[in-house]
Structure 1
Amino acid sequence: MRDLVYPPVVAFAKTAFTVLDLKIRRTGTEHVPRTGGALIAINHISYVDFILGGYGALPAKRLVRFMAKEVLFRNRYSGPLMRGMHHIPVDREAGAASYQQALDHLAAGELVGVFPEATISRSFELKEFKSGTVRMAAEAGVPVLPMILWGTQRMFTKDHPRDFTRHRPISISIGAPITVTPDDDPTEATTHLRSTMSGMLDETIRSYPEQPAGAWWLPAAYGGSAPTPEEAQQLDLEELARRAAKRQ
C-alpha cells in the first residue's frame, strides 16, 4: 500500500509535538509487531486520540489505519487526509463494509486501530466495550494490542474548550498482545480485554506526573471533578436526544 500522505502528516505531527514541547512517555512499544497484522484497541478520551495512538506505533516503524466516523471522510479538510492515509470510514448504519475493509487491511499485514468504546468517554474511565474488536481479531487471526492514552483529554475533548498548553505530559501505554480465536466466546473475550485495559488505565493514571485534586480532566474516582460514569452516560443520552431532534 503506497503512502504518499501519511509520512508528511507524521512529520507535521512530530513538529507540532516539538513546538508544544509535549512530554510524551511511551511504554510497551516493544509489543508492537514489526511486521504482520494486529488490531490496536485504544481507550477514547479525546478528539486527538488517533494522532497519539498512531504515535505509539512509530518506534516499530508502523503506520496505523484507524476506523473512524464516516463524516470525517466527507469533510472538505479532513476528508482528503483520512482517505490519503488509508483510514477506514465507519458508517454505523451500514457497518458491514467498514468491518470487511478492516479485515482486508489486517489480511494484508496492516495495523488497524479501533476504539472499543465507540465514542469518547466523558468520565475518562472506560465505557462498555463493543464486541466487534475481538470478533474482528478472531476472524482475521491477529492479536489484539491494548493501548491506553492519558493526558490527551486535556488538549481537546467533549464539553471543554481546546487547550494546547505547552509542556503537557502525555502517557501512551501498550500492553502485551492478547490472542483471540474463533472458538472463544466474544462476550468473555471482550470482558477480558476491558478488564486488562482497565488495569492498565489505573496504572497509567496513578503514574501520571500531575494529580491536582478537583481537576476537571481527572476521574471522580481519583479525586477529580469529571462526571461519574453514571453521570457521563446521562450526558451521552442527552446528546443523542439533541442530535435526533436536530435531524427531525
Structure 2
Amino acid sequence: MTPFIAPGPRARRLVASGFAFSVAVATLCASATARAEAPPARDTKEAPPAESSSVYTDGGLLGPLRFGPTIGVGAPDGGRVSFAFKYAGVLALGASGAYLPETEIPTTGASVKRVGGEAFARVHPFRGAFFLEFAAGYAQTKGAVTEETEAFNKATSVSGHAYAATTYLAPKLGYQWMLPLGITAGFDIGVEIPVHSRGPTYDVSKYGLVQPVEASGPVATAMRYVATGVVPVVHLLDLGFML
C-alpha cells in the first residue's frame, strides 16, 4: 500500500487561489447573463397629449388664415353679401354690402328701399360657432307713397318721397357653423345705433313739379324712426364657405 502524503503549504495555497479564481469567473458570467436577459427599463416620462383638432381651428389654403364669402337674407338689410378673413378660428375681419329692393308695405300704399354697407370684426371666444360682432356701417333709405287726387274733375297722381341716411354702430351676436367641405351656415341678431343722421327729408311730385314738404303719416313716422332710432337687426340665414 502506498502511504498517504499530505500536501505542503505551497500546494494548499495554489488550490485555494484556483478555487477563488473559479468563483470570481462564475460570478462575473452570471452577472453578465442577468444584465443581458433583463428587460429594458421603461421610460416613465409621459408623452405630451396630442392637440385636439376641430373644424373651427383647422387650417385652409393659407394655413391658419382662412377666407371666403357668404350670402344671406334678413331685416332691415334685405339681401346681403359678405367677405371675411378668419384667423385660427378666433378672430374674423370683413365687410358686407346689403340691398333691399323697393318693397311694398301692406295696407299703406307705400314702399321702401334701402342700400347699405358695413365693416365688421368678430371674436369667437370659444373657438367654435358662437361669436360676438362689432360693426360700423352706413345706410340710405328711401320711402315712397302714391295717392290719387281729383282736381277740376280730373284724377291726378300725387307721389311723395322720403329720404334718410344714417351712419351707425351695430353690436351683434350669433352663430356660424362649419360644415363639411368648408361650407358655413349661420345667423345673428343685434341692433343698429345711429351716430349721425341726415334727414329724413320729404318732397311731393304733382303736375310734374317737385316741391319739398313737411310730411306726416305712417311713412314719415317710419322714416324718422329709421333715421334716428335704434333699429333691431336680424340676419335669418347666412350661407358661404371658407377656404
TM over 0.5: no
| TMscore range, shorter length | under 0.3
- Which structure has the bigger radius of gyration? 2
TM-score, length basis structure 2:
0.24
More strand by share: 2
Higher relative contact order (CA 8 A, sep 6+): 1
